[in-house]
């Protein structure tokens, strides 16, 4: 098979959440880091895993208004609710879904990830009544006893899908699950297995290695995913499938979301780079120097600003490049993530 325009692979149309995701139009709402399972491949960071914390994208939040603000700044058309397992905090999850629908309208698309562990008729009914648009189940490939619960989730107006990491060596288990579920679900998502700071040791213990020195993707995951696609194409040709690669997540999904947020928050003296970073010039000098430069080089006032807390001058990078050799003060071009914390990427 050949990859699509997003460096991933699909049979039939992508699910609605995936369509918005590749456009950068989905915010990620972590409603808790608590989970009834302890998957060795879980990529959650130490700041989230097994902690009852709430994040919207990269931003830790303390009240619901911050969630609304972040979604607006990110120009999102929907959210993906995840964790941990959001069903461990069902009341919180229901409240969030209802509020987001009220604030952003019923067209605001909400999908949710959960394991089968906490699925009950009661929890499913509450999620459906709250307005959930898409439910993505994450069955445990080592615990087949819970697989029949998939049938419980199919009798609701949402789109029902299964989302799985592609774990090398689990081809037969995955095929067995697909054969059981294909008539009950609207789509299947397969994710290339990736290494993270928190799962490195456990993945190594299971014999997994990255496919090369610069990739986070696990060796063998890609090949197995393509094998699964070939199997589904022959045996379940009606089933929409999306194989989401590590490259899609980094070079498409995240980049597009960052670009949208960067354009929302950029100041007149900042540039948005091709990969969504915010670029600005900084001159390490005081207010008097800022006024002097403004007059001497006739710099428009919106392209130069004095940053009092840090005692430095913020200036459009294209202007700084023109005048830097004439300056008596040190200067840099700074690249920052357009996230709430403005994480520093580099300075030149």
Kindly report the average pLDDT of the chain as a whole number. Answer: 96
Residue 6, pLDDT > 80, answer yes
- Scan for tokens 């490259």, then name that residue: 247
Q: Which pairing describes strands 278-283 and 312-315: parallel, antiparallel, or unpaired?
A: antiparallel
Helix (H, G, I), strand (E, B) or coil at 315: strand
Confidence of residue 281 (pLDDT cuts 50, 70, 90): very high
Residues 80-92: tens digit of each pLDDT: 999 999 999 999 9
Residue 215, pLDDT > 90, answer no
Region of 344 (left: φ > 0; alpha: ψ -120 to 50; beta: rest) is beta
Domains assigned to the chain = 9-261 (3.20.20.70), 267-347 (3.30.70)
Tell me, what DSSP letter sits at residue 85?
-
Q: Could you tell me where the DSSP H helices lie in 15-135?
A: 16-22, 64-73, 90-104, 121-130
Mean pLDDT of 194-214: 89
Helix (H, G, I), strand (E, B) or coil at 346: strand
Residues 147-165: tens digit of each pLDDT: 999 999 999 999 999 999 9
- Scan for tokens 């098979």, then name that residue: 1
Q: At what angle do helices 64-73 and 255-265 cross, to 10 degrees?
A: 100
Residues 308-341: tens digit of each pLDDT: 999 999 999 999 999 999 999 999 999 999 999 9
Which among 93, 100, 92, 91 is positioned nearest to 68, based on CA atoms? 100
Other residues' Cβ atoms within 10 Å of the Cβ of residue 295:
9
- Scan for tokens 């605001």, then name that residue: 108
Other residues' Cβ atoms within 10 Å of the Cβ of residue 318:
13
The residues pairing with 30 across neighbouring beta strands, listed in sequence order, are 55, 82
Rounded alpha-carbon distances, angstroms, from residue 191 to 44, 99, 168 = 15, 30, 12
């Amino acid at each position: 098979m050949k990859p699509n325009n997003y460096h991933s692979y699909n049979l039939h149309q992508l699910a609605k959440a995936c369509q918005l995701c590749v456009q950068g139009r989905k915010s990620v709402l972590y409603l808790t880091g608590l989970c009834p399972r302890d998957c060795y491949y879980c990529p959650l960071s130490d700041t989230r895993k097994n902690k009852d914390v709430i994040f919207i994208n990269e931003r830790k939040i303390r009240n619901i208004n911050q969630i609304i603000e972040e979604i607006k700044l990110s120009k999102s058309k929907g959210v993906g609710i995840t964790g941990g397992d959001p069903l461990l905090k069902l009341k919180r999850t229901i409240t969030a879904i209802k509020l987001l629908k009220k604030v952003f309208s019923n067209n605001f698309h909400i999908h949710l990830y959960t394991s089968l562990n906490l699925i009950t008729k009661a929890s499913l009914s509450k999620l459906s009544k709250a307005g959930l648009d898409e439910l993505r189940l994450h069955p445990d490939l080592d615990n087949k006893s819970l697989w029949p619960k998939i049938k419980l989730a199919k009798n609701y107006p949402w789109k029902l899908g299964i989302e799985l990491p592609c774990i090398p060596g689990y081809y037969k288990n995955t095929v067995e699950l697909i054969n059981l579920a294909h008539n009950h679900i609207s789509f299947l998502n397969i994710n290339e297995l990736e290494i993270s700071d928190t799962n490195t040791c456990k993945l190594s213990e299971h014999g997994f290695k990255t496919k090369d020195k610069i990739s986070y993707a696990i060796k063998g995951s890609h090949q197995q995913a393509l094998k699964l696609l070939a199997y589904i194409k022959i045996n379940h040709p009606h089933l929409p499938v999306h194989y989401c690669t590590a490259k899609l997540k980094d070079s498409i999904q995240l980049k597009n979301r960052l670009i949208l947020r960067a354009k929302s928050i950029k100041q007149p003296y900042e540039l948005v780079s091709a990969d969504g970073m915010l670029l600005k010039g900084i001159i390490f000098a005081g207010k008097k120097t800022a006024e002097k430069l403004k007059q001497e080089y006739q710099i428009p006032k919106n392209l130069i600003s004095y940053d009092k807390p840090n005692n430095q001058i913020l200036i459009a990078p294209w202007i700084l490049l023109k005048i830097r050799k004439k300056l008596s003060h040190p200067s840099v071009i700074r690249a920052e993530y357009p996230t709430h914390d403005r994480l520093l990427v580099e300075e030149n």
